Structure 1
Amino acid sequence: MHALRTLLHRGVHYSFSRPVFANLILTASMATAVTAVAQTAIDPTPEILAAHRGGTLKLVAAASGGTLDPQINYTAKYINLYAVVYDGLTTFRKTTGPRGNDVVADLAEALPVPQDGGRTYVFTLRPDIHFSNGKPLTTADVVASFRRIFRVGSPTAGSFYSAIAGADACLQSPATCTLKDGLSDDPAHRTITFHLTRPDTEFLQKLAFTHAVILPADTPDHDIGNTPAPGTGPYRLTSYDPNKFLHLDRNPFFRTWDMQAQPDGYPDRIDYSFGIPDEAAVTAVENGQYDWMADTIPMDRLGELGSRFTAQTHVAPHPAMYFIPMNVNLPPFNQLKARQAVNYALNRKAMVILYGGPGIARPLCGMLPSSLPVSSDTCLYTRGASPMSPAARWSAPDLEKARALVRESGTAGQHVTLVTANTSIDYAMGTWLRDMLQSIGYQATLRPLSSSMAFNYMQNSGNHVQIALKDWSADYPSPSNFLDDLLGCENFHPNSDSSINIPGFCNKRIQALMDRAKTDVSLTREQTDALWREADQLVMEQAPAAPVIEKDDVIITSPRLKNFFYTQVNKLFFSQVWLR
């Protein structure tokens, strides 16, 4: 009841159904327990390793995550799984709590000290590491892997790696990419040298992201689709049917070089099953048929988790949100007032309840969730506020102002199609949003798509998506993951499934602020944070998207899964769980 009293004290009033109320209590009581369980997994002794080694970890999802290509795939279903299959030069520390946000050396022996004012990085490769096919890891593999990022059109090629000298030419002509000015190796000394055209204060974090994993040099320069590529991690992908399953076994050539970078795994095997709807998956995990589900837990199941399955339910913070991207190049949302109307009309309280209640979600007014080091601190679109006079926080929608803006924009009566994934929560939110669009003057329809294809479909401008609903999680904890990734000029690629700037938004003034925040090494942390807040404010004035809610991660695991090991970057870290 403490959580409910806290909300009422803050002036927040809701009518709770029993499931939502139960979830509120669950969320307030589970956070401490999650931390306490996870801490037992750090630096295990040989006795612990031997005692808990073995078994098959069983994962389940409604649909597969698409291509197995780790430099192309951009779905949480596989990115977190790839963390136990592949390695980069750097990685995020495999530990629980805030230290899990730290970058550590992985395939490199140590983190280099930037040279030339932050424009040069020299890495030394660890010796005697082998891929899962038995081939030794070499500096040539590193060089080829970074060329491949551009040649295959990786979704983050522009946003993450464009500072590498020669990247601009690679982005313009991927097939002929060489990066000869930006990347070189010395096999005799096992060194790889990066030359940047400008400093990048997050370069080591970007090297730790999945798209920068190191693959064998002979990996084809195209999407490998359903064919797995060898990796250096403790597991290897062995068989895949995107309609049914994905199987992983131990990598026989793996050896532990640093427990904080890539620890050995406990399970002998990881089996991923597809085609189980989220409602059925919850029941299956509760009963122990599967150990973990990839899809968001439906709201109507949260109550039973709080009342009957608390020992199996975990709530953890993670920089994540739902947002509504609007295509600034297509009617009606090529009109600023139409985009602002959606922001004013959006009932974020309703979206919180549809997700599962105020214990695990909160209204979001800007593009920066509160779990980031710097977050949105004003609300332009709420009752009583305006871009010229923002409020401190969201309070209520303003339908009257929204309808007036639609009329002023000259777009009233136009047809609008809202695209969502077909998961239960996305569909529920989408239904509500369709009705909202109709209420402010549009002829709106809802188009739910399979969760395995919805994101790619939204990204491709050739599909003429006017407006969509999408969830988004940080690749690493930085405001650039939400502002520059989703709205940066370099991330709009017309007619491509790898165009994460869904609105097709590009504003030179805002881009200049973001670029300075990413590159100016003379700035203090406070000055950099101020740049991100200014960019966030200007983005919301242009309203290419409507932030909806920020959300915590709610996870259910089977009764036999122990040693719940949650990192803030990789979430549940599959190699470190114990199976009875």
Structure 2
Amino acid sequence: MRRKAGPGRACIALVFCGAVAALTGVARAADAGNVPGADAGHRGGTLRLVASASAGTLDPQINYSAQYIDLFANVYDGLTGFRKSLGDSGNDVVADLAEALPVPRDGGRTWVFTLRRGVRFSDGREVTVADVAASMRRLFRIGSPTAGAFYSAIVGADLCMKAPERCMLEGGVVTDAERNTVTFHLTAPDNEFLQKLAFTHASILPAGTPDHDIGNTPVAGTGPYRIVSYDPNGGMRLERNPWFRLWSGDAQPDGYADRIEYTFGIPDESAVTAVENGQYDWMYDQLPLDRLGELGARFTSQTHVSPHPVAYFAPMNVNIPPFSNEKARQAVNYAMGRKAMVIFYGGSALARPLCDMIPSAIQGHVELCPYSAGADFGHPAARWQAPDLERAKALVRESGTAGQKVTVIVSNGSVDLAMGNYMRDTLEEIGYRASVRALSPGIMFPYIQNSANHVQISLKSWAADYPSPSNFLDALLGCENFHPGSDSSVNMPGFCDRAVQAVMDRAKSDVSLSAEQTLELWREADARVMRLSPIAPVIEMNVVSLTSRRLGNFFYTNVYGLLFSKVWVQ
């Protein structure tokens, strides 16, 4: 008999909320004293990172895990990048491998970049415009998860999507070696083109990089660090890139540590103890709930609470039972115990219920909640109040799916597993025969993306690639992002609604709209999505980080999380 997460467990969890609330205030105050500048005396040493598991391929144009994307920000560069600074300025796009941000021409359809001269890859070769063109073609040839979502407006991309192996982007990416320029021609304006070029998947790699997933073999980059060894079962080692020369402190600052050693295979509970004891300097995994009180009481100066555009959601496969039925999906949204999920994450100091697919850290968010007790789409609640289990049960009966088997796929971390068990119990309560299957984080994400695995429902956290509603709507639910049978199909529900897509496409491409009009389109797309319910939003969170006593200049950005190049070790 399974033990349900009832009131007793909730009360136990709430014991830690007071400590976490105090921890939040103290940690933020402590972080405010961390200045981004540091003298040369902080240069050197080894930064030691730890995680319960590795995160898959080293290919920067394929890997879509936050664990490695944040790491790759210190290894690779694109034509543009996000300013590596604290606060809201970290949302700004700046020139990186390009000399300057271009002014769009032809009504936003033409972008001309001049490449910086003298920048070299970690193998000593100078970066050329041919490398830029090859890297953009490679996105399509290898089936990058964002090739369609982010770069499909480039002329020739439609042919590349149909026949990736023959992708040339002819007429779409034009190079001039003499002028050292790369010109992008788009089929339609893209209001977020500079942000998309700043994302890690658009990293510029050597032109000879194979047109397939490089797997465990590092490829040369241009950042201050290079990956020198990788064992997915043991760890990763990074050292200084001997060819790195600072060209823009905003786009790619130099690193303080001489080496970065990343150890895999240490469970989250053990990792907390190891960081407390100084064996490691930072842990990637979520902090277990039962350790938060201890951290708030004894390790406040080492525990940091950072706002971040990140959320948990439950994608439901719209193409297989039971969630091929719209009412079944709506039932999950009505039944979702969002307050319980907040408690599992660590309490109200760290998380808040989320009713829509645009978190409050992103412009376009609305507080109205139709999936709450006493509410519906005609009369949404001002904010989420409680689950409506009776309505959920009725919808399950009306859908004709009652009694069907449902398996919830989750990551095997303690917090995700607790949430998954709660989801299982909720699904059983509204009429299903439910179970949980826990997978390691490195396996779980590609597994739930591949439609061949017939995943019915899962639980996943998602951080913005860049601060825009498109990252939570078009990226996760755009028609172009569903690739049947692929581990790189970020549209996990397999959802494609042409009316929703039309609204999102206009928000992305109509340059005549004001900023507020564009946000209104995203809100409209969000409302349409929530009615169709391919996804159940769960919670939005702050990020809690634990560091060792010897780590200084804790540097957390809106886009990259903890920026490893900017912290130092003593």
**Shorter chain as normaliser: what TM range?**
over 0.9
Equivalent residue number for residue 151 of structure 2: 161
Residue 21 of structure 1 corresponds to: 18
Task: Quote the residue 1:575 is aligned against.
Answer: 565
User: What pairs with 1:358-373 in structure 2 (closer than 5 Å)?
Assistant: 358-373=348-363
Asked whether 1:32 is paired with 2:22, we answer no
SS in 2 for 1:272: strand
1:520 and 2:510 are equivalent in the alignment:
yes
Q: Residues 154, 16 of structure 1: CA spacing in aligned structure 2 closer, same or farther, 3 A cutoff?
A: closer
**Alignment partner of 1:437 out of 427, 434, 456:** 427
**1:19 Cα deviation from its structure 2 partner:** 2.3
Counterpart-to-counterpart distance in 1, 2:70 and 2:554:
15
Q: CA deviation at 1:28?
A: 3.5
What is the RMSD of the two structures over their aligned residues, measured on CA atoms? 1.1
Residues 128-150 of structure 1: CA deviation (Å, up to 9, x unaligned): 11110011111000000000000
**Structure 1 Cα separation of the partners of residues 108 and 217 of structure 2:** 38
1:33 is displaced (CA, Å) by 2.7
Q: How many angstroms apart in 1 are the aligned matches of 2:221 and 2:335?
A: 48
Match of 2:318 in 1: 328
Given residue 243 of structure 1, which amino acid in structure 2 is its aligned partner?
Answer: N
1:156-555 correspondence to structure 2 within 5 Å: 156-555=146-545
Say if 1:109 and 1:123, in contact at 8 Å, map to a contact too. Answer: yes
Report the Cα distance in structure 2 between the residues aligned to 1:87 and 1:201, rounded to whole angstroms: 21
Q: Percent identity?
A: 65
1:351-381 per-position Cα deviation (integer Å, ceiling 9, x unaligned) = 0000100001000000011011221332110
Name the TM-score, length of structure 1 as normaliser: 0.96
Change (3 A) 1:442 1:58: same
What is the CA–CA distance in structure 1 between the aligned matches of 2:474 and 2:114, rounded to whole Å?
Answer: 30
Q: Deviations over 1:418-449 (max 9, x none)?
A: 11111111100000100000000000011111
Aligned residues of 1:20 and 1:356 also touching (Cα < 8 A): yes
1:469-488 deviations in Å (ceiling 9; x for gaps): 11100011100000001111
2:129 and 2:180 in contact (8 A); partners too: yes
| Alignment-derived partner of residue 92 in structure 1 | 82
What per-residue deviation string (whole Å, max 9, x for no partner) do you get for residues 135-185 of structure 1? 111100000000000001000000000010011110111000000110010
Q: Contact (CA 8 Å) 1:376, 1:536: kept in 2 or not? A: no
Paired amino acid for 2:104: P
For the residues of structure 1 that align with 2:402 and 2:299, how far apart are their CA atoms?
48
- CA contact 2:465–2:559 (8 Å) conserved in 1: yes
CA deviations on 1:92-137 (whole Å, 9 max, x unpaired) are: 0011111010000000000000000000000000011111001111
Structure 2 alignment gaps of length 5 or more: 1-9
Maintained 8 Å contact 1:285/1:558: yes
Mapped partners of 2:12, 2:25: distance in 1: 18
Is 2:275–2:282's contact at 8 Å kept on the other side of the alignment? yes
Give CA-to-partner distance per residue, 1:508-554, whole Å, 9 cap, x none: 11111111111111101110111111111111000111100000111
Question: Whole-Å Cα distance in 2 between the matches of residues 247 and 30 of structure 1?
Answer: 30
Q: Alpha-carbon deviations, 1:208-253, whole Å to 9, x = none?
A: 0000000000000000001000001111010111100100000101
- Structure 1 unpaired stretches of 5+: 1-12
Amino acid at match of 1:335: N
CA–CA separation in structure 2 for the residues paired with 1:29 and 1:406: 46
Alpha-carbon deviation of 1:15?
A: 7.5
SS at match of 1:453: helix
Query: How far apart are the structure 1 equivalents of 2:489 and 2:451?
Result: 8
Q: 1:277, CA displacement in angstroms?
A: 0.4
Which residue of 2 is the match for residue 41 of structure 1? Answer: 36
Contact 2:13 2:289 in 1 (8 A): no
Cα distance in 2 for residues equivalent to 1:379 and 1:194: 41
Instruction: Write the letter of the residue equivalent to 1:96.
Output: L
Distance 1:228 1:16, change over 3 A: closer
Q: Which residue does 1:5 correspond to in 2?
A: none
**Is 1:142 equivalent to 2:137 in the alignment?**
no
Q: TM-score if structure 2 supplies the norm length?
A: 0.97
